[in-house]
Amino acid sequence: MSESVRLETIAAGTAIIGVDGVPIGTVEAANHGAIRVSGHEVPAAAIESVTADGVHLHLAKTAFETHQDHTR
């Protein structure tokens, strides 16, 4: 992730997009260390980029869902 991006500037409702281009959900909240998506914290290290289209993750939607299943 670009170090110039401040996560706390990402608005709730911003689209979250997997590395495969498939939408994952939307940002519920953001702070300086992580964003919250579907009730889970996503660390800044998992963010590839932030564009006008949304927040792009290093994970595909299926990998994100699999990780969620293991943390419940």
CATH code, 23: 2.30.30.240
Measured CA to CA, the distance from residue 13 to residue 70 in angstroms comes to 25
Give domain status of residue 45, yes or no.
Answer: yes
Residue, of 6 and 34, whose pLDDT is higher = 34
Q: Stretch 36-44: mean pLDDT, rounded?
A: 90
Q: What is the domain extent for residue 40?
A: 7-57
Domain count for the chain, please give it.
Answer: 1
Structure tokens at 9: 């500037």
68, 38 in Cβ contact below 8 A? yes
Phi-psi region of 42 (alpha: psi -120 to 50; beta: other; left: phi over 0): beta
Q: How confident is the model at residue 38 (pLDDT cuts 50, 70, 90)?
A: confident
In the numeric block, which tokens belong to residue 53?
């289209």
pLDDT band at 64 (very low <50, low <70, confident <90, very high): confident
pLDDT of residue 70: 46
> If you average pLDDT over residues 40-48, what whole number do you get?
91
Q: For residue range 1-17, list pLDDT tens digits in order.
A: 545 567 888 999 999 99
Quick check: is 67 in a domain?
no
32 lies in a domain?
yes
